Structure 1
Amino acid sequence: MINRISAVFLFLFFTLNASFAQQVLTFKGELAPIGDRVEILTDSNSTMSLRSALSSKEFKRSSGSQFPNLGTTPYSYWIRFTLKNESNSKAMGIQLTQSMMDYVDFYQVQGDSVTRTNFTGHRRPFNNRFVKHQTYIYQVPIIKGESQTIYLKVKSGKQLTLPIYVGSIEEVVENAMIIDLLFGIYLGIIMVMLLYNLFIYFSIRDITYLYYVSYLGIVMLTQASMQGYIFRFILPAYPEIADMFIYISTSLIGIAAIEFSKHFLSSKQYTPLLHRISYIFWALYGIQISLAIAGFHNFSYTMMLALAMVSAVYVLYMAVVIMLKGFRPAKFFLIAWTGFIFCVIIYVLKDFDLIFHYNNITNFTLLIGSAFEAIMLSFALADKINILKVEKEQSQLETLKALQENERIIKEQNVVLEARVIERTSELHEANEELNSTLENLKQTQSQLVESEKMASLGQLTAGIAHEINNPINFVTSNINPLKRDIDILLAALDEIEIVGLSDSTISAKQLRIKEYKEELDFDYLKVEINQLVKGINEGASRTAEIVKGLRVFSRLDEDDLKKADINQCLDSTMIIANNQLNNNIKVIMEYGELPLVECYAGKLNQVFLNIIINGIHAIHTKFGSTSGGELKIATYADEENVFINIYDNGIGMGPETQKKIFEPFFTTKDVGEGTGLGMSIAYNTIKKHKGQISVMSSPGEGSQFSLQIPIHNNQSLSHLN
């Protein structure tokens, strides 16, 4: 690899001329920074090759700082210095302790050739490095008394500082171990605090501790990422992911710090405005991450530094405001946060090369500050537990005092209460008797109203029933006198035949006399007339018997118990009762299904059917008057558990408001004196007590349909139906 690259980058003849101006750095055996003695060349296009750098006369001496700060720019920089070994060590070491540089190209030049090269950086595979460490370590073999020139090309999307150390390779490795040791101490502190607070969370289940543990975990990952340990140990083969993790984790630590602070300080309660403002930082950090993902690394890192300072000051201000409002935990939080903010400010100002400059202390300020913050915030959380404990003890003491006071008051009030209870019991007894009396009166009134409705219904039907019975009775009464007359003629004829039969006349004379007498009586017509009169009397009697039977079935006066009944027969008997209301201008359609016997109080159901049918007839008469066109349809069917009865009329129908009130007691749309308003209420209660259902569908001007559902079997005795 070295021979191939050496062949490409041959040392040109003009190299000696360019190197004469270089200052030679003499190494005498002590590890030391050399940043103030190197030469730097800015490559603003990041396209300069080693050939161009070797011949360039644009190299300038560094500003004098031991750790040159090149800022946050998209440029590449060439660093050149010549080392001369005046120590007994045969191998010198060069270390760049800034682990976040994206690209670091190393060239070792001796005489007229490039002797060694190495291309590494945070955005290149970790295994490219000479020494497998998160810092950049190069072993440079130089014989005592000789010198070699080193060229470094560096570029970074983050803050670019050049902490370059030169010493023996042993000293460089020892310095790397010290860096690892210091981070290990920091990691130990954070892990102890994290596990300690996680244990407390599982003990007391205070969500604040979970926020804090999450915050500590993000802090630990962020510092490990910025110091290069994530790249070294977790993602050595994925440099781009490891580098992007820096931008993401630094944003997450800001968000986590704000969210923990809000929860710990109860900002929503004490400073609601500041609590809402915090969500602006979510958006800003989101923009910062998006810029990094889009490739604007320098701008993203600069924005991250600015947000770090602003968010730290925001949290500090919120803590001061809440502390002034008397929230004691805010004092400890303020101490912890002030120290951390101070370290953040130092770190940011160091990166911007303002007031503070890069050195071993400022480089580790975030580690120092976050460790100090972790310890102090743990104290703050512990103090919060003490506060809660004191508040709990105080609350328990106050509760105990309140209980004792309540006990005293209760004892004093017991005597008064006992007297009042006796007095009140007597009053309640009297009131109870009055209520029982009132309830009995209401029951009697209810029974009377129901009976009144029954009588009103029967009263409306009495004239029609009398008319229905009067028609067949007229058949009987009008035929009795003619039949009596015909019977008298027959009896007289018998007497005459007897006389003829007992006379001495000849048989032929007797036959002639009887024939003449029959012709005289018009005997053949007499027989026809008697048959017709008997038939008329029979039809009138049968019709009367049928009406009487219908009345008996309708009223069920002989059935006071729960019995099985034929619903179709009940509807027929009801129609017999209501027949006179039809006035021969309403068409009746009966569509009966095959129904099983239903366990019910048939007389009560007949009253339900009658109320619905009479209301339908009334609605038809209201719409059609004495003209034809009215239609009343009754349909029945059954399933395994219920029978269903649909009663439809094409009368005036009902609006939604009327349908809502149709089953309410005393509600009626009829004129005063035409109805009590109890018919449909009784129907509703009767069906409900049969454990059935009743519903109505209606549209104004189109008619109404009442749908009834009645269980076939009633396993429990029905309550008394009025």
Structure 2
Amino acid sequence: MKKILIIAYLILQYATAFAGNTDTLIVNTNQSQLLTSRYFNELNDHDGTLTIQQVLNSNDFYTSKTLLPTLKFSKSTIWLKVVLKNNTDESIIPISVTASVIDALDLYYIDKTDKKITHISIDQLQSNFLLQKITSIQYPILPGTVNTIYLRVKSNASTIIPLRIYSVSAFLENRTIENIIMGAIAGILLVMGLYNLMLFSIVGDRSYLYYVFYILFLGLSQSLLRGYGGILFTNKAILNNYVIPIIRVCFGFSLLLFVGEFLHLKKRLKHWYKYYLCLYGLYTLLLLAILFGFVVAAYNLITITISLTAVSLLIIGVYLYVKGFKPAKFFMLGWGLFLVSILISVARNKGLIIYNDFTANIIPYSSVAELVLFSAALADKINFYRGQKIQLQNFAITVAKENERLTTEQNILLENKVKERTNELIVTNKNLSVTIEDLKNTQKKLIDTEKMASLGQLTAGVAHEINNPINFVSSNVNPLRLDFDELFLLLDSYDAALSNPGHPRFLEVLNDYKEKVDPIFIKDEITTLLNGIEEGARRTAEIVKSLRTFSSTDDLVLKTLDIDKAIYANLLILRSTIPYYIQITPLLDTIEPLNCYPGKINQMLINLISNSVYAIKAKQTHENESILIVTKDEPEYIYIEITDTGTGMTDETKQRMFEPFFTTKDVGEGTGLGLSIVFGIIEKHHGSIEVVSELGKGTKITVQLPKNLV
């Protein structure tokens, strides 16, 4: 029975050894080899309590299902068993970990000379200053010998562990190349940081300052991840548990600040901006978790938060670009590239894609490309604002030149008029009454001329406004002419058929031509074209009428006007344009007839009431709509208040509402002269106007007119 148990034990040992069978990792000169599952067996140490003696005696080693060693759980430890052969001329085999956050890397082996267990840790300082910046172990093994080593890896983050075995020459060459690449990337980051800091000092735009912070924390994050933090931090626990995660959180904050300022999210996202602020909240929770020692949870949340931030910012960039914000184009491209690199990095760390030189360095490579695109975005933003400024300057120069031209022409005209009138006075001094009448006419023309000078500022707007309706007429004339030509030919065919009743050939020609031209279609087309011409003529007449009203030269004669009767009369005129769902309520005080210019006052009332009606009609839905007209009689002034439940106005619209040709109506619905004329009428009466309006709630306009106008 005892023999049977011994045989069974040996069979079990053999089966275990066969199940965990791996290849010997042979290191040749000028060669480096990534430690894959082909060369190691793995042992999980979840609590991190196993000793090397327990590991040596353990039969629980197994072949890994992942290509590279992987810490599948946060705050865990794994042991790797590797059979290694030194096939080089050197007695050192460097082993390093790159682009990974680990808390401990220990190497154990049994010295073949004295049979003692030797322990080497990454916490032991290297003799070479350049080698202190990376996570590496120098394993001593004689050339041509084979030995079994045990690697213990511990980390608070769940990630893959890219272990690479080198020959000494390959290690030094690899480190040199990596230092050159990282130095070049650091140089690029430094140049971009200083350049944008200079732009911030010149332009004063906070986008550049936040971009400098973004570059700084991006560079620090990548440098620390690649082991360069050992220069400043000898305590690896502080570096991995506090410094690296805090730098990542600061990177997230700087990114949110830069994007928010560069894309003007507070202004452009409006109601959605509060959801953008939630990203700040997530990074604040991460910072608190790190400071209070919840490092494992913090590393898991960092991956989730950065991925959520990347997707959110890409969606925001695409949304703003679609909405027409052109500076978002380069941001969208740059951040899209960076998002892809983050997703590749996360998938690589989870073992979902192959680990190689490209995927290992995808973040720094894409970061450089992203920074170039972000810099292009900032430069494009400068060009965007510069273009707007140049356009405004050119427009101002054009207006100034046009005003100067008009002023010069008016001065010449005035000088000519004065010369003409002077000559007329010399010639006609015997006829004093005629001379006085001429002087009155001249004075009136001078007043009109001064008013027309102000119209010079409107020249550019008039040309644009009147061009559209004229196109209605000009574009319809040729088709209308063709239709009439076909009708005339059809009439000629009818005439020929009637003149030759005995010749059926003429009738056949008539029928063939009638089917060819389709008189019903021609009739409909003529009607449509005439309607278009009529619409263009109507809109042109409306613009011309508005301009004529604005520059009208009414008689400068004061007359009395009953304000209450004038309001009722204007409401009667406008009654057909007021929809049924608008309730007009006049609350009129008893006011004595006012000394004023009646035509102007009526024009003012019509414009103000019409604007209130339009503001209500512009709403999407209508409920309890009303216009309240109130007059008040005070000792020295009268007040006219018009309150509506329309769409209301923004602060920007209120500031520009009295500018000539400024309108919020659609093209073809208004010329933008109405309120400008109203303002001129009130000024002419030495009165004042006050506007109180809130977007979505309506508008109240109060007009104050003096009683003692003389």
Give the TM-score taking structure 2 as reference length.
Answer: 0.53
Question: Which residue, 380, 384, 392 being the options, matches 1:383?
Answer: 380
The AA in structure 1 aligned to 2:26 is T
2 CA distance for matches of 1:103 and 1:242? 10
- Match of 2:110, SS state, is strand
1:183 aligns to what?
Answer: 182
- Cα distance, 1:188 vs structure 2: 1.2
Q: CA offsets, 1:188-223, max 9 Å, x none?
A: 111111112222222222222112112111211222
1:113 aligns to what?
Answer: 115
Which segments of 5 or more consecutive residues in structure 1 lack a partner in the other structure?
A: 1-14, 424-722
Task: Quickly say closer, same or farther: Cα 1:419–1:160, change in 2 above 3 A.
Answer: closer
Max Rg structure = 1
1 CA distance for matches of 2:145 and 2:267? 71
1 CA distance for matches of 2:280 and 2:150? 43
- The 5-angstrom pairing of residues 154-193 of structure 1 reads 154-193=153-192
Is the contact between residue 22 and residue 82 of structure 1 (CA under 8 Å) also seen in structure 2? no
1:714 aligns to what?
Answer: none
Is the contact between residue 98 and residue 161 of structure 1 (CA under 8 Å) also seen in structure 2? no
Is the contact between residue 119 and residue 128 of structure 1 (CA under 8 Å) also seen in structure 2? no
Question: Which residue, 39, 49, 52 being the options, matches 1:50?
Answer: 52
1:407 aligns to what?
Answer: 404
2:93 aligns to what?
Answer: 92
Answering whether residue 100 of structure 2 is matched by residue 81 of structure 1, we say no
Structural RMSD (CA): 3.2
Question: Which residue, 292, 313, 316 being the options, matches 2:314?
Answer: 316
Which segments of 5 or more consecutive residues in structure 2 lack a partner in the other structure?
A: 1-12, 415-442, 451-710
1 CA distance for matches of 2:367 and 2:444? 65
- Cα distance, 1:406 vs structure 2: 3.2
Is the contact between residue 102 and residue 156 of structure 1 (CA under 8 Å) also seen in structure 2? yes
Answering whether residue 218 of structure 2 is matched by residue 216 of structure 1, we say no
2 CA distance for matches of 1:265 and 1:74? 39
2:43 aligns to what?
Answer: 41
- Cα distance, 1:98 vs structure 2: 4.3
1 CA distance for matches of 2:346 and 2:444? 75
Deviates more, 1:296-305 or 1:160-169: 160-169
- The 5-angstrom pairing of residues 322-337 of structure 1 reads 322-337=320-335
Task: Quickly say closer, same or farther: Cα 1:298–1:419, change in 2 above 3 A.
Answer: same
Task: Quickly say closer, same or farther: Cα 1:360–1:22, change in 2 above 3 A.
Answer: same
The AA in structure 1 aligned to 2:90 is S
Answering whether residue 26 of structure 2 is matched by residue 26 of structure 1, we say yes
- Cα distance, 1:180 vs structure 2: 1.9
- Match of 1:39, SS state, is strand
Q: CA offsets, 1:605-662, max 9 Å, x none?
A: xxxxxxxxxxxxxxxxxxxxxxxxxxxxxxxxxxxxxxxxxxxxxxxxxxxxxxxxxx
1 CA distance for matches of 2:126 and 2:144? 33
Deviates more, 1:132-141 or 1:214-223: 132-141
2 CA distance for matches of 1:222 and 1:68? 23
Task: Quickly say closer, same or farther: Cα 1:369–1:98, change in 2 above 3 A.
Answer: closer
Answering whether residue 354 of structure 2 is matched by residue 357 of structure 1, we say yes
Task: Quickly say closer, same or farther: Cα 1:22–1:113, change in 2 above 3 A.
Answer: farther
2 CA distance for matches of 1:137 and 1:158? 19
Task: Quickly say closer, same or farther: Cα 1:207–1:295, change in 2 above 3 A.
Answer: closer
- Cα distance, 1:420 vs structure 2: 5.8
Task: Quickly say closer, same or farther: Cα 1:126–1:399, change in 2 above 3 A.
Answer: farther
- Cα distance, 1:326 vs structure 2: 0.8
2 CA distance for matches of 1:181 and 1:72? 34
2 CA distance for matches of 1:238 and 1:28? 32
Answering whether residue 196 of structure 2 is matched by residue 194 of structure 1, we say no
Task: Quickly say closer, same or farther: Cα 1:98–1:49, change in 2 above 3 A.
Answer: farther
Is the contact between residue 120 and residue 128 of structure 1 (CA under 8 Å) also seen in structure 2? no
2 CA distance for matches of 1:294 and 1:114? 42
- Cα distance, 1:241 vs structure 2: 4.7
Aligned residue-pair number: 404
1 CA distance for matches of 2:307 and 2:181? 25
Is the contact between residue 256 and residue 280 of structure 2 (CA under 8 Å) also seen in structure 1? no
- Cα distance, 1:19 vs structure 2: 8.3
Task: Quickly say closer, same or farther: Cα 1:326–1:98, change in 2 above 3 A.
Answer: closer
The AA in structure 1 aligned to 2:53 is R
Aligned-residue sequence identity (percent) comes to 28
Is the contact between residue 107 and residue 152 of structure 2 (CA under 8 Å) also seen in structure 1? yes
1 CA distance for matches of 2:220 and 2:105? 24
1 CA distance for matches of 2:185 and 2:14? 48
Is the contact between residue 274 and residue 318 of structure 1 (CA under 8 Å) also seen in structure 2? no
1:276 aligns to what?
Answer: 274
Task: Quickly say closer, same or farther: Cα 1:310–1:359, change in 2 above 3 A.
Answer: same
Task: Quickly say closer, same or farther: Cα 1:317–1:154, change in 2 above 3 A.
Answer: same
Deviates more, 1:280-289 or 1:411-420: 411-420
2:533 aligns to what?
Answer: none
2:238 aligns to what?
Answer: 240
2 CA distance for matches of 1:247 and 1:93? 28
Is the contact between residue 344 and residue 369 of structure 1 (CA under 8 Å) also seen in structure 2? no
The AA in structure 1 aligned to 2:55 is A
2:534 aligns to what?
Answer: none
Q: CA offsets, 1:575-606, max 9 Å, x none?
A: xxxxxxxxxxxxxxxxxxxxxxxxxxxxxxxx
- Cα distance, 1:38 vs structure 2: 0.8
1:395 aligns to what?
Answer: 392
The AA in structure 1 aligned to 2:69 is P
Q: CA offsets, 1:272-309, max 9 Å, x none?
A: 23322121111111112222233332221111011111
1:636 aligns to what?
Answer: none
Task: Quickly say closer, same or farther: Cα 1:49–1:19, change in 2 above 3 A.
Answer: farther
1:533 aligns to what?
Answer: none
- Match of 1:212, SS state, is helix
The AA in structure 2 aligned to 1:118 is I
Answering whether residue 302 of structure 2 is matched by residue 300 of structure 1, we say no
Task: Quickly say closer, same or farther: Cα 1:395–1:72, change in 2 above 3 A.
Answer: farther
- Cα distance, 1:342 vs structure 2: 1.1
1 CA distance for matches of 2:259 and 2:444? 54
2:257 aligns to what?
Answer: 259
- Cα distance, 1:242 vs structure 2: 5.9
Is the contact between residue 118 and residue 130 of structure 1 (CA under 8 Å) also seen in structure 2? no
- The 5-angstrom pairing of residues 680-719 of structure 1 reads none
2 CA distance for matches of 1:271 and 1:396? 30
- Match of 1:319, SS state, is helix
2 CA distance for matches of 1:17 and 1:128? 44
1:228 aligns to what?
Answer: 227
2 CA distance for matches of 1:390 and 1:370? 29
Is the contact between residue 159 and residue 350 of structure 2 (CA under 8 Å) also seen in structure 1? no
Give the TM-score taking structure 1 as reference length.
Answer: 0.52
2 CA distance for matches of 1:47 and 1:362? 33
Q: CA offsets, 1:92-127, max 9 Å, x none?
A: 222222452011122122347345312336xxx867
- Cα distance, 1:177 vs structure 2: 2.4
1:366 aligns to what?
Answer: 363
- Match of 1:370, SS state, is helix
Task: Quickly say closer, same or farther: Cα 1:182–1:19, change in 2 above 3 A.
Answer: farther
Is the contact between residue 83 and residue 149 of structure 2 (CA under 8 Å) also seen in structure 1? yes
1 CA distance for matches of 2:444 and 2:147? 107
